[in-house]
Structure 1
Amino acid sequence: RVSDEPVGGRPVTIVLTVRRFYCRNSDCGATTFVEQAEGLSARYRRRSVPLLATLAQVGLALAGRAGARLAAQLGINVNRTTLLRLVRALPEPELTEAPTALGVDDFALRKGNVYGTILVDIGTGKAIDLLDGREAEPLAQWLRDHPGAEAICRDRAGAYAEGAKVGAPDAIQVADRFHLWRNLGDYVEKTVARHRACLKPEAPESEAPDRPAAERPPEPAEPRLVSRTRERYATVQDLRRQGESLSAICRILSLDRKTVQRFARATTVDELLGKAIGRSNLLEPFKPYLHQRWAESITDAAQLAKEITAQGYTGSEQTVRRYLRPFREMLAPPLAPPTVPKVRQVTGWLLRRPDDLDDGEKRQLTDIRSRSPHLDRLAEHVKAFATMMVQRQGEHLDTWLSTVEADDQPDLHSFTVGIRRDHDAVTAGLTLPYSSGKVEGNVNRLKAIKRQMYGRAKLDLLRKRVILA
């Protein structure tokens, strides 16, 4: 009796009459041999071959629990563990050689603890293998066992660079352009934060310094996070000069070791203040409205807080009270402070295509560049790198590096140091048509499969679903 695929939602059982053979050899471990119907039945199976193939595909697509629920709707009674067992038993395609263009990236099985490596055929866009760990040796061993890779697309990770160099020394390593652009964006943001004073627009003539002090807008107080960062940086640096170890500083200041390391390694406090000062202020978009209502003699902070909350403000009423408190000591309503773009906004303007900016953004960026020679030259460096990346002009990389290194751009200098360490791969990335786009797509698909499987996504089962689905 063999269970087969249901018909019309009703279960089907096929009753077979077959021959049974008896073995008279006493040394044989099996006593009987049952004849099988080819393509229908298999030894030790109570389900038909077509039904097993269907269930295996259901398991590949939906894993255990979801697959069992779908099978029940189709009229098939199967346990979730059976589905996973069928997936594990599926044969894998034989792979003897690496593809011509191989993509490499890491993924997290347990973020911060357990990682793996995914290998993708850039030509077909399909995942071909999953490795345990993201160190150099597993990749190098895989490349030795599967020769033939001519180009290896990777991110800027040093482990993959070393593994590719050891396992396939003749292959061209290609640094992914997306990761190059993102790395550049990080250093651009640091540079903009370093010159954040230039982001504030100049006051119009009506707000000149000769305006009575009682009518000027209040000077914004330095955020507590900024002042605390300055104090901690000064304290950590003083203790380091006194010869205290990092562990001793951790005990004295009651801070985590990683925090102390960050403060100790920073050469200036500006390196630590970039994100703190560039952090979004929840009240900033609503300040013009508060000034307008105050000029209309609406001075109840609670009422004003309710009004801006209805407009989308998500901060506290106390924040509104603190901002309005200096207004009560003025003789006349203060003018609304000029809107200062955030560090991240300006960074986005520098990294986006000029045609994608609206007229207001173009005008603000032009004003900022006119006030800050450093940011003006930064914009030119970013534009040159973008042109080189889009038009595949890797041969101009050395010229770009020399130009940046000759300029007073400390943060971009750090970027150029990393580029020179990985010079050949970056040049190939800016010249060849290969990229890790298909690899990133497979990583996203892998994450969806992993989360669908909850705690059952061990590497062997995850590997089957990623490669065969």
Structure 2
Amino acid sequence: MIWFAKNLITYERPRRVIVLHRLAGGEACCLDLLYSFLPHLKDVQVEAVTVADDEVLVKARTRGVEASCRACGVPSSRVHSRYRRQLRDLACAGRPLQVELEVRRFFCVNGSCESETFAEQVPGLTQWHQHRTPLLRGLLETVALALAGRAGSRLAAALGVTASKDTLIRLIRALPDPEIKQVTVLGVDDFAKRRGHSYATILIDMGSRRPIDVLDGRTGEVLAQWLRERPGVEVICRDRAGGYAEGAREGAPEATQIADRWHLWNNLCVAVENTVRAHRADLREPEPEHQALVEEPAPMPVQLESLTAIRTRERHAAVHTLIAEGKNHTQICQILGLTDKTIRKFRSATTAEELINGPRHSIRQIDQHAPYLHQRWNEGVHDAAQLHAEITARGYGGSKRSVRRFVLPLRPYQQVADLPAPPPTVREATRWITSDPDHLTTDEATKLAQLKARSARLTSLAGYVADFAQMMTNRTGTQHLEGWLTDIETGDFPALHSLARGIRRDQNAVTNGLTSAHSSGAVEGNVCRIKHLKRQMFGRANLDLLRKRVLLSH
């Protein structure tokens, strides 16, 4: 124990007493050292410090002669009583630190005050109705905002502080919301509280790139109400959602709306994929004029359409029949028993062909070695065991039976045709068309050139994509968007016609997005951060707790 007395300061341990320092005048250098390490104790008189294996206890008392009433602010020096407060403080060298502080209760000398007595407070050390010092509370709030409940409790224990997960969550909920200052450029986007069921809206100050508010719901009225209460927004960066467009027009009619370029490019990529799918016959190379078969094999049976394709055609027909009968979106969902997203997909498709990817062939492991097997068969190697040994050396991990089944249809022939290269998939062709040519490999660039050489429609589609990419990169939407839309509308691509109609409905915002330097990049980054926070809390928190962490965890 370290005693601060008038004559001597000692550190008492079993069987050993260590003299630390003698006092010099009215103050001791040991006290100065203590106050240097614990500056929030400088306004109290430290009487003793007890060091144990599992805790450090500091006994102190207040120094002031008088204190001000909490209710009326009138100072008083009439002491009513004294009592001791137990305060938890930041850990000291890994040990929990507790301050036992003797404080006084004063009489209020103001006769008109409703409080007869009040307790004195020490700035930086005590707070009303708190058993923790402000430093410890600040630490726990920081831990709670970073890690939330269970993980935060484990980290606090490692720091020498005991706090349950419920305590940390209560601390987060007790924090005040940050002040919303004047916002000139506002970013808006939605995120899922529970995907497919409920959503919320996040608002970003694009100047500071920080979230300023989280709203429950993603309707236009929610955004419009917020904008009416906080005028002064000049620019609104948003996605292509019609609800936010309408809310921005109602709440801030003078503000400039900017459609995000990434969403525009994503909409174009979806339209390109649908177009490639509608013309997927162009992905195959034309059949050679002469087959290398010595004898003609028996004709292959006609492959029937898959059950998935049949079901897709039936649902597409049913949805559009109900639309023709005047049913609204909700009624169609209820009648067919399908989800909102599924019905929207069928409504947006002009024909069922846009939703059918064609027959799906399972890719067997042996198919990767089929060209080599055909080559060896033409060289006169017809023994399945030998062929199996050769392709096993090339990385094949299947059985001999699979090789025997593969060569069985080849038995009637001495020579077979070389296998053509498999055609690219719809998504592969879409990626080649929508990628920067400098980012394609040599093989991919060659395949794309071959694809464009044998398909005038895909060549025209690639030209539309290249023009839009150049317009988006060079920010020349004001000069070139109208001409690009006109070319699209006069073309023969229904999926691009749908894209053009959507852009026409929001053409001013799209033009601004393809011209202005503003974008929704900061908004999308914060949405990704929200997803991380949701995973930390395992979806068990309400929106109020998630909102606090989003706004305060920067």
**Which letter does structure 1 place at the counterpart of 2:465?**
V
Match of 1:34 among 119, 122, 125: 119
What is the alpha-carbon distance in structure 2 between the residues aligned to residue 456 and residue 201 of structure 1?
54
The 3 A distance-change label for structure 1 pair 80 and 260 is: closer
1:5, distance to aligned residue in structure 2 (A): 0.5
Partner of residue 208, structure 1: 289
1:122, distance to aligned residue in structure 2 (A): 1.3
Match of 1:383 among 455, 463, 466: 466
Contact 2:365 2:396 survives alignment (8 Å): no
Contact 2:235 2:255 survives alignment (8 Å): yes
Question: SS of 1:17's equivalent?
Answer: strand
Partner of residue 428, structure 1: 512
Give TM-score scaled by structure 1 length: 0.85
What is the alpha-carbon distance in structure 2 between the residues aligned to residue 127 and residue 121 of structure 1?
6
The 3 A distance-change label for structure 1 pair 110 and 243 is: closer
Partner of residue 135, structure 2: 50
**Which letter does structure 2 place at the counterpart of 1:160?**
Y
1:93, distance to aligned residue in structure 2 (A): 2.2
Contact 1:106 1:116 survives alignment (8 Å): yes
The 3 A distance-change label for structure 1 pair 215 and 361 is: farther
Partner of residue 68, structure 1: 153
Partner of residue 214, structure 2: 130
Task: Flag structure 1 segments of 5+ consecutive residues without an equivalent.
Answer: 247-253
**Which letter does structure 2 place at the counterpart of 1:341?**
P
The structure, 1 or 2, with the larger RCO (C-alpha pairs under 8 Å, 6+ apart) is: 1
**Which letter does structure 2 place at the counterpart of 1:388?**
M
**Which letter does structure 1 place at the counterpart of 2:313?**
Y
Partner of residue 464, structure 1: 548
Contact 2:293 2:417 survives alignment (8 Å): no
Question: SS of 1:115's equivalent?
Answer: strand
Contact 1:288 1:336 survives alignment (8 Å): no
User: Which string of whole-angstrom CA distances, capped at 9 and with x for unpartnered residues, describes residues 37-78 of structure 1?
Assistant: 111011211111111111111111111111110000111011
Match of 1:292 among 341, 362, 372: 372
**Which letter does structure 2 place at the counterpart of 1:150?**
E
1:154, distance to aligned residue in structure 2 (A): 0.7
By percentage of residues, which structure has more helix?
A: 1
**Which letter does structure 2 place at the counterpart of 1:87?**
I
1:337, distance to aligned residue in structure 2 (A): 3.0
Partner of residue 226, structure 2: 142
The 3 A distance-change label for structure 1 pair 4 and 312 is: farther
Which residues in structure 2 correspond to 1:310-325 (within 5 Å)? none
By percentage of residues, which structure has more strand?
A: 2
Partner of residue 443, structure 1: 527
Match of 2:484 among 395, 400, 414: 400
* Greater Rg by CA: 2
Verify: 1:104 aligned to 2:104, yes or no: no
Match of 1:194 among 278, 299, 308: 278
1:198, distance to aligned residue in structure 2 (A): 1.2
Give TM-score scaled by structure 2 length: 0.72
Verify: 1:454 aligned to 2:538, yes or no: yes
The 3 A distance-change label for structure 1 pair 235 and 15 is: closer
What is the alpha-carbon distance in structure 1 between the residues aligned to residue 344 and residue 102 of structure 2?
77
Question: SS of 1:14's equivalent?
Answer: strand
1:340, distance to aligned residue in structure 2 (A): 0.8
Q: Report the count of equivalent residues.
A: 451
What is the alpha-carbon distance in structure 1 between the residues aligned to residue 110 and residue 459 of structure 2?
91
What is the alpha-carbon distance in structure 2 between the residues aligned to residue 436 and residue 50 of structure 1?
38
Question: SS of 2:103's equivalent?
Answer: coil
1:309, distance to aligned residue in structure 2 (A): 12
**Which letter does structure 1 place at the counterpart of 2:290?**
P
What is the alpha-carbon distance in structure 1 between the residues aligned to residue 393 and residue 232 of structure 2?
63
Contact 1:237 1:264 survives alignment (8 Å): no
Partner of residue 447, structure 2: 364
What is the alpha-carbon distance in structure 2 between the residues aligned to residue 272 and residue 323 of structure 1?
33
Question: SS of 1:156's equivalent?
Answer: coil
What is the alpha-carbon distance in structure 2 between the residues aligned to residue 19 and residue 453 of structure 1?
43
The 3 A distance-change label for structure 1 pair 162 and 255 is: closer
Contact 1:217 1:334 survives alignment (8 Å): no
Contact 1:59 1:67 survives alignment (8 Å): yes
**Which letter does structure 1 place at the counterpart of 2:220?**
A
Contact 1:116 1:133 survives alignment (8 Å): yes
Match of 2:427 among 329, 344, 365: 344
What is the alpha-carbon distance in structure 1 between the residues aligned to residue 319 and residue 477 of structure 2?
46
1:167, distance to aligned residue in structure 2 (A): 0.5
**Which letter does structure 2 place at the counterpart of 1:81?**
D
Partner of residue 90, structure 2: 5
Partner of residue 353, structure 2: 270
